């Protein structure tokens, strides 16, 4: 995805004029934008996997699996720094026009949101260290479904970003409502279990916290959806009123 434009004409030879320089500059910026977009997509795919792995680790209380999520966060952080550096270099060296600048700044914001989503996945994984032994976590099936949905929303918004599809972005953002409903169901089940048994308080509290992290992932996906809509249409829309 990127601002729509004529195909780069790097091979065009126009002797002695500024047009040739403009064409070379245009081609260089196109290449840098593609590189940045590809890095953002690679980062997003990694984040999607982190979410799915984290919730699987929590529901199964798999400490070793949770530790892979925690360790993997460093790679996501490095990807985000790489995107920021590439964008700064493109702005400094290519002097992008308004449409390109909007595209680059949007990608920077998308990368920032993905990094925070990665942090939420780590938050889920860290609860595996703290949850006590005992019966399964409350509403385990609902929690697993929330995790699957959160990961799928990340994948969906990446596809919308690639295709610059505002309608697809709006549809992905609408999926956040189902995550919110899932949070309510998990919260209700966890509170009921805690009220029934004091021994379940720690387990229930950890479960509610995990559901909260998943709910926050939905909110951040909605933020990315707003970026996609803005890039595709030029309009600023609040998709989480």
Q: Which CATH number does the domain housing residue 147 bear? A: 1.20.58.220
Residue 36 and residue 3 in contact, taking contact as beta carbons nearer than 8 Å? no
Does residue 1 carry a pLDDT above 60? Answer: no
**Looking at the domain assignment, is residue 149 inside a domain?**
yes
**Looking at the domain assignment, is residue 120 inside a domain?**
yes
| Arithmetic mean of pLDDT, 210-215 | 97
**Looking at the domain assignment, is residue 8 inside a domain?**
no
> What is the average pLDDT value for the chain, to the nearest integer?
90
Domain, as residue range, for 145 = 19-233
**Looking at the domain assignment, is residue 59 inside a domain?**
yes
Q: What's the Cα-to-Cα distance from 129 to each of 57, 62, 77, 81, 106, rounded to whole Å?
A: 10, 9, 22, 28, 36
Q: What whole-number percentage of the chain has pLDDT above 70?
A: 89
Does residue 26 carry a pLDDT above 70? Answer: no
Q: What's the Cα-to-Cα distance from 114 to each of 37, 98, 117, 206, rounded to whole Å?
A: 13, 24, 5, 23
Residue burial 118-130, b: 16+ Cβ < 10 Å; e: rest:
bbbbbbbbbbbee
**Looking at the domain assignment, is residue 54 inside a domain?**
yes
Does residue 4 carry a pLDDT above 60? Answer: no
**Looking at the domain assignment, is residue 102 inside a domain?**
yes
**Looking at the domain assignment, is residue 241 inside a domain?**
no
pLDDT digits (tens, 9 = 90+) for 38-52: 999 999 999 999 999
**Looking at the domain assignment, is residue 14 inside a domain?**
no
Query: Which band of pLDDT confidence, cut at 50, 70 and 90, is reported for residue 2?
Result: low
Query: Which band of pLDDT confidence, cut at 50, 70 and 90, is reported for residue 94?
Result: confident
Residue 153 and residue 221 in contact, taking contact as beta carbons nearer than 8 Å? yes
Domain count, the chain: 1
């Amino acid at each position: 995805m990127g601002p729509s434009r004529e195909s780069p004409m790097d091979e065009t030879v126009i002797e002695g004029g500024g047009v040739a320089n403009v064409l070379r500059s245009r081609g260089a910026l196109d290449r840098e934008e593609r590189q940045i977009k590809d890095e953002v997509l690679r980062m997003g795919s990694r984040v999607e996997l982190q979410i799915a792995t984290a919730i699987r680790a929590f529901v199964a209380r798999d400490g070793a699996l949770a530790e892979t999520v925690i360790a993997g966060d460093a790679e996501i952080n490095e990807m985000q720094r790489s995107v920021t550096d590439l964008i700064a270099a493109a702005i400094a060296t290519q002097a992008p026009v308004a449409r390109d600048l909007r595209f680059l700044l949007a990608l920077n914001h998308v990368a920032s949101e993905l990094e925070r989503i990665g942090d939420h996945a780590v938050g889920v994984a860290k609860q595996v260290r703290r949850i006590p032994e005992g019966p399964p976590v409350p509403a385990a099936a609902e929690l697993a479904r929330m995790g699957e949905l959160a990961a799928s929303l990340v994948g969906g918004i990446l596809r919308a970003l690639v295709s610059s599809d505002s309608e697809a972005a709006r549809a992905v953002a609408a999926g956040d409502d189902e995550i919110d409903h899932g949070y309510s169901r998990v919260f209700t089940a966890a509170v009921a279990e805690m009220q029934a048994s004091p021994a379940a308080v720690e387990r229930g509290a950890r479960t509610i916290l995990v559901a909260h992290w998943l709910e926050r992932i939905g909110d951040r996906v909605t933020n990315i959806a707003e970026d996609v809509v803005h890039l595709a249409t030029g309009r600023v829309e609040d998709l989480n009123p």
